[in-house]
Structures are given as C-alpha cells and as structure tokens.
Amino acid sequence: MIDYEENVDLSKLCTIRIGGTAKRVYFPKSVEDIIQLLKISQDSGKKIIPLGVGSNTVFRDGILDHLFVSTSKLKRYEIERSEDHAVITAEAGVSFKTLVSLVKRYNLEGFENLSGIPASVGGAVAMNAGAFGSEIFDIVEQVEWIDSEGKLTVSSKDEIDYGYRYTQFQKEGFIYRVKIKLRKSKRNIPQIIKEHLKERNIKQPLDLPTSGSTFKNPDGISAGYLLDKAGLKGFRVGDVGFSEKHANFTVNYGHGSYDQLKKLLETAEKLVGEYFGIKLEKEIRIVE
C-alpha cells in the first residue's frame, strides 16, 4: 500500500504558496512504489505530476485531480569516497541542504555554485538547475528513472537530452535516483558556499514566498534586465508581483492567487514582446 493524503492544500507544496487543492497526493517510499504509480497513471489516464520542494512550481486554484507524486519520502543517499573523488548516489527527494552538508564536511568541489538553490535532487535534475556559471548536469554521472510505461532505465549523462534549464524529464519520466561525482578540493569549500549564500541574500527576495526565476534568460541577455527595462520591476497584480529586488523573481505579498499570477505573466510577455521583439519563455512550471 502506497502512502497518500487526500484534499491536500497545494499552496503548502510550493514555495510561492499559491494553488488549490489536490484530490490526492502519493508519497512513495521505494522504486517499486513509483513503478506502480506510473502504471496507475497509464491505466487511469491521469497525468503524473512529480513534486519536489516546489520551488519552481505553481498550481492553479480549485480542485486538481492529477496523479500527484511527492518525493518527500525518498531521501536515502550514500557516498563513496576515494583519494581524489567522491560519488554521491541520492534518491530524488534528497534536498540540496543535505548535499551542501556533505560537500562541506568532505570539502568537495563541483557543487558549491549550486549550493543555495532550494531544490530536491529530482527537481534540480528535471530542471537542469544552475547558478554562477554551473549547472547540475556538470556533475551528474547517471540517472535512474522510470518511463511512462513503468520501466526502470539507467541512463548515463551522455544518453540524456538536456540543455539550459531543460531536460527530457520535463516531457516524460520520473527520476528515482541520481549519481553525482565531485572532486576533493584544495580550496575552502565551506567559505565559498558562505559567500554564495551571502550574494543570494543580497540579490534575491528571500523574505517573501517566491518561485525564483520566472522566465528563462533569452540568448545573450538576462530576463531580469528585460523586465526591468520594460518597467516591470516591482510591478504587481493584486498580491503577486515582480520583486523590487530582482525583476525576474515573482513574489507573493500575502494572498496572491493563480489568476493574478497569470495576468502578471501575460503582461510581462506582452510588454517585453512589444518593447524588444523577444518572446519570453517561462522557467516556472505551471500545473493546471
């Protein structure tokens, strides 16, 4: 029997705190549970929605009847250390906070630029999350994932389709476990991480519920710059707006709704299109 909860408040499952009610959310504890859920999805025709920390996800209001599958009970990991490397094998629900504590403890290099991203391993790999010139696929070695028919596949990095904030897993598949490889470092990794976190604190609105970067950066230009120049920094629709601190961060000032968020995004897409002839592409994942 796979654990589940009914009538779940989705605003509590995403960091921007917007969304309606999920009829049911499943909490698998093993790869067998996930395989079973993918088969249920196929038989029932219900769309499977994997849920990580929800830091890149927004839900519509109302009742949602998808097959929501949280990774919050998939938190096992192991670390194998050799003289100059370490390999961490982590289930999808392992948080970046856990990885940060490991890389600090063993002074490992390769993850430090990603350290402040509020992610789960599964969500970060699905999004190919990145920061400060690095992305998670720089260190991914292997992904174990289950396809829509319930088949478990082990893919090495070069067998996976990925790009800037994009992977094949955004179209299909549930990431179960990921292997990442890191180098032992001669630099002071805890200190570098501390500096990155400080910089994030200065540049990002971490005092309000947010879903991070709203739009992907178009080629050669930052989405935040375009939004700022289009007069949208600090612009609000009701309780949802683009942060005063970082124009590409959408924030919830209190009782933000999905309709307000949608209007905000449409306004931004329209204005940036008119001013610059650039079509913005959403980075946040909207579940309707």
Ligand X SMILES: Cc1cc2nc3c(=O)[nH]c(=O)nc-3n(C[C@H](O)[C@H](O)[C@H](O)COP(=O)(O)OP(=O)(O)OC[C@H]3O[C@@H](n4cnc5c(N)ncnc54)[C@H](O)[C@@H]3O)c2cc1C
CA-closest candidate to residue 5, choices 13, 203, 129: 13
Residue 130 as a binder of ligand X (CB under 6 A): the answer is yes
- For 63-74, b/e burial (b = at least 16 CB within 10 A) is ebebbbbbbbbb
The set of residues, in sequence order, having a beta carbon less than 8 Å from that of 197 and lying 6+ positions away, is 115, 116
Task: Rule CB under 6 A: choose which of 8, 22, 37, 51 binds ligand X.
Answer: 51
Distance CA 127, CA 214 (A): 13
- The answer to whether 253 touches 239, Cβ cutoff 8 Å, is yes
Residue 130 Cβ vs ligand X, minimum distance, rounded to whole Å? 5
Identify whether 165 is a catalytic site residue.
yes
Identify whether 17 is a catalytic site residue.
no
Residue 150 Cβ vs ligand X, minimum distance, rounded to whole Å? 14
The alpha-carbon radius of gyration of the chain (Å, integer) is 19
Task: Rule CB under 6 A: choose which of 11, 89, 115, 120 binds ligand X.
Answer: 120
Count other C-beta atoms under 10 Å from residue 221's C-beta.
12
Residue 117 as a binder of ligand X (CB under 6 A): the answer is yes
Please tell me whether residue 272 adopts helix, strand or coil conformation: helix
Residue 190 Cβ vs ligand X, minimum distance, rounded to whole Å? 19
Task: Rule CB under 6 A: choose which of 67, 88, 108, 126 binds ligand X.
Answer: 126
CA 226 → CA 147, 204, 221, distances in Å? 38, 17, 8
Write down the catalytic residue from 24, 165, 200, 285: 165
Residue 124 as a binder of ligand X (CB under 6 A): the answer is yes
Residue 19 as a binder of ligand X (CB under 6 A): the answer is no
Task: Rule CB under 6 A: choose which of 11, 115, 204, 217 binds ligand X.
Answer: 204
Q: Read off the tokens for 120.
A: 């789960």
Task: Kindly list the catalytic residues.
Answer: 165, 213, 283
Binding positions for ligand X, rule: CB under 6 A: 15, 49-57, 71, 92, 117-120, 122-124, 126-127, 129-131, 169, 174-175, 204, 206, 210-213, 285
